[in-house]
Structure 1
Amino acid sequence: MMDWIFRPQCAACGAAAVTLCAACRASLVEIGAACPRCAEPSEHEALCRRCRT
């Protein structure tokens, strides 16, 4: 019933999908290691210099 009221759709483009449609999923770019607090790209998965202060 909930699917009838709240149609499952892609969070990025609104197409019919459960979470992300195949096209949006394929267009995602992996960012690699990042600061766990601000998501700033970094060499390690540790807090960046800005977040450590």
Structure 2
Amino acid sequence: MSIAAGSLDRPQGLRIAAHIYAAEAGDYYSLDERVPVLPGGGHRIPLP
């Protein structure tokens, strides 16, 4: 039997602030168009 980590916790209400390293993402990833996309790892997006 195996249980995935975090699967028994309640949702925390977290949301994605930005997609980083998006230039290196595989073509099989679907990025949310409502979230800023940054090709590299640096970001200046204020975090909640």
State the TM-score, normalized to the length of structure 1: 0.30
Higher-Rg member (1/2): 1
Larger RCO, structures 1/2 (Cα 8 Å, 6+ apart): 2
State the TM-score, normalized to the length of structure 2: 0.31
